[in-house]
Structure 1
Amino acid sequence: MAYPDGLLGSDEYVVVHKHPHWKMLILPVLVLFVVVGGGFYLAALAASTSWQLPLWIGLGVIGAVLIAWWTLAPLVRWRTTHFVVTTHRLMVREGVFTRTGIDIPMSRINSVRFRHGLLDRILGCGTLVVESASDEPLEFDDIPQVERVHTLLYREVNDDPRDDWDYRAREDG
């Protein structure tokens, strides 16, 4: 089931649906490993003290807060961020408790470009830059397969139904 089926028009369908690239999760996973490893190390040190139970409880609470703040929150943020290209518009939805979104009709998009450095090229992601009727171009970072998304979005922007074979067949027949 493609996101966001409930928001699509009757003749609209999803062309591309992406979450940000997984590279956004590298730092949160590293934090998880450091907090868990450091917590076990400190718990082992606390085992030889007479205050071991209160220290273990304190380490557990601090570790849980750090993991929730630096690992779980970015994971949920990543999972609830959607970059969607449909046949009629470009949609971006972000957020968990406070949702934000932007819709750009295909007819308002003037140009589409992308950029990615060496690391982004190795990982297969990049930044998509969309110029529309607004003053400033919109930049969407960490788009997976940015070149493919760029090409598909460009095709949708420049798609003329009169160029479609089915349309010509209907007109001729």
Structure 2
Amino acid sequence: MAGPMEWLDPRVERYVLVEDGELMRDEVVRHWAAGIWPITRLCIGLWFLASSFVFTSWFFWVAMLLPLGVVAQALWRLADQYRDRFVVTNQKVYRVYGTISQVRASMPLTRILDITVDRPFIGRILGYGHFVFESAAQDQGLREIKWVPEIDERERLIQRVIHEAGLGTGPTTVNSTKDDGT
């Protein structure tokens, strides 16, 4: 029997094609900093919800329902962020996200032309960054991956997997330019 929190696990391993030799190399959960604003809204909403019990008139319902909506929205955002997973295998990268409806986007390693790493100032302090994948396709479902913890290590892993798959000329294939003197 599944536990009450079982629905939070997106079970990303079921999308790995083990029978075709695919191996999961990394599963990335969003950095804890992505939850700062939802947790702040949750705490403020709970405080206002608890404060609403001092009212005795019709205003009690307004004072209670508004913070209840804020609490519900904050819990929804936290669940949504927890279920957002980015996975690296030896054949592809993919993302699984969504709370009620689940969305999957994948890109074979052969389609990755460039990876841009964006590390905002606060991300450098807290240890997260964002990936931007460029591929031959104009529109793709896997372009930006935000709130990636330890992004430099994750970028090195992707470079190593691309190299091991024989798709690049070396570990500097991603985000490198070749100077041929012309």
Higher Rg of the two aligned structures: 1
Report if the CA contact (8 A) 1:127-1:143 is conserved. yes
**Residue 34 of structure 2: which of 24, 40, 45 is its match?**
24
Summarize the Cα distance change of 1:35–1:3 in structure 2 as closer, same or farther, 3 Å threshold. Answer: closer
Give secondary structure in 1 for the equivalent of 2:93.
strand
TM-score scaled by structure 2? 0.74
- The percent of aligned pairs where both chains have the same amino acid is 19
Report if the CA contact (8 A) 1:35-1:67 is conserved. yes
- State yes or no: 1:140 paired with 2:140: no
Root mean square deviation of aligned Cα? 2.4
- Residue 121 of structure 2 corresponds to 118
Matches within 5 A, 1:1-173: 3-9=11-17, 10=19, 11-44=21-54, 46=55, 52=56, 54-69=58-73, 71-135=74-138, 138-160=143-165
Q: State how many pairs are aligned.
A: 154
Unaligned runs of 5+ in 2: 1-8, 167-182
**Which has more helix, going by share of residues?**
1
Summarize the Cα distance change of 1:92–1:160 in structure 2 as closer, same or farther, 3 Å threshold. Answer: closer
Q: Distance in 2 between matches of 1:113 and 1:62?
A: 41
TM-score scaled by structure 1? 0.78
Q: Distance in 2 between matches of 1:4 and 1:25?
A: 21
Alpha-carbon offset, residue 82 of structure 1: 0.9
Q: Distance in 1 between matches of 2:43 and 2:13?
A: 37
Alpha-carbon offset, residue 144 of structure 1: 1.1
